[in-house]
Amino acid sequence: MFQAMFWATPTMTLGHLIFAASLTAYMAIATLFEERDLVSVYGEQYREYQRRVPMFLPRVASTSPVANADEAMAEAIAR
């Protein structure tokens, strides 16, 4: 989500392009490690969360169960 700020520039120089691409790749790879760690800590509760909530882009449908996903995850962690 915050990667967009690295790409928003009035003039894209080669240095800025390398910077933006590097940080975007770093964040994408770091996300994979973070997901693995969260599964090891929260187990099946987090797997269920992963099944309900897309990783990077939200679903568009307003009737999706994703609407209360953050609340459901908070409740699952609290148990």
What is the pLDDT, as a whole number, of residue 64? 52
Residue 44 lies in a domain: yes
Residue 13 lies in a domain: no
What is the pLDDT, as a whole number, of residue 65? 56
Residue 17 lies in a domain: no
d(CA 63, CA 65): 7
- Walk along the chain (79 residues) in steps of 10 and give the mean pLDDT of each run: 78 93 92 94 94 82 58 69
Residue 51 lies in a domain: yes
Backbone angles phi, psi at 9, to 5 degrees: -150, 140
- Three-state DSSP state, 11: coil
Residue 42 lies in a domain: yes
Residue 15 lies in a domain: no
- Three-state DSSP state, 57: coil
What is the pLDDT, as a whole number, of residue 59? 74
Range of the domain at 78: 28-55+64-79
What is the pLDDT, as a whole number, of residue 7? 87
What is the pLDDT, as a whole number, of residue 61? 62
Q: How many domains does the chain have?
A: 1
What is the pLDDT, as a whole number, of residue 79? 67
